[in-house]
Amino acid sequence: MKKATSKTSRIQRELKQRKPFPSRRQEAGVALLRTADVVKRRMAKVIEPAGVTLQQYNVLRILRGAGEGGIATLEIARRMIEQTPGITRLLDRLEHKRLVRRERCPSDRRQVLCWITAPGLELLDDLDVTVNRADSHALRMLGGDEVDRLIELLDSIREE
């Protein structure tokens, strides 16, 4: 076990926290949450000028990936990066912007199927290069092996 030192960590300095964290695991958890927030805010700066939120952008990407067959509303909710209880309201806003369309499933009237529209595809096409550049920039300080290791570590954290 590593000895505690009086030196403050970077996350402590960022948060202007005077006391050390009770454990390194708690410090790592806080640093992970802080980092996720930083990346999220940077991505929002790239996406929101196009008139959609990060969650709406996520829905549009899911719908683009679903293809011509469409996808059920509840399946969209399951695939979201950030889980949201308000998937219907999210889809309402996207439909109002004419970026998605919805229809009741003919074989199961309880289900609503969703598709991305041509304007939705156009919006994603316009954002693809900018978003890809922002993704690369967010992790620019990491080498290829470090990115691979980061992915492995994050996968381990999400396992239950």
Summary mean pLDDT of the chain:
90
Does position 156 have pLDDT exceeding 80, yes or no? yes
**Sequence spans of domains, the chain:** 51-158
**Reported confidence tier of residue 5, pLDDT bands at 50, 70, 90:** low
Per-residue pLDDT of 33-72, as tens digits, reads: 999 999 999 999 999 999 999 999 999 999 999 988 899 9
Per-residue pLDDT of 89-119, as tens digits, reads: 999 999 999 999 999 877 777 788 999 999 9
Element (H, E) at 50: none
SS3 state at 116: strand
Looking at residue 6, its pLDDT comes to 55
**Rg for the chain, CA atoms, rounded:** 20
From the candidate CATH numbers 3.40.5.90, 3.40.50.300, 2.40.30.110, 1.10.10.10, the one assigned to the domain spanning 51-158: 1.10.10.10
For residue 85, what are the CA distances in angstroms to 17, 29, 70, 77, 89? Answer: 33, 24, 21, 8, 9
% of the chain beyond a pLDDT of 90:
69
In sequence order, the 6+-apart residues with CB closer than 8 A to the CB of 31 are 10, 11
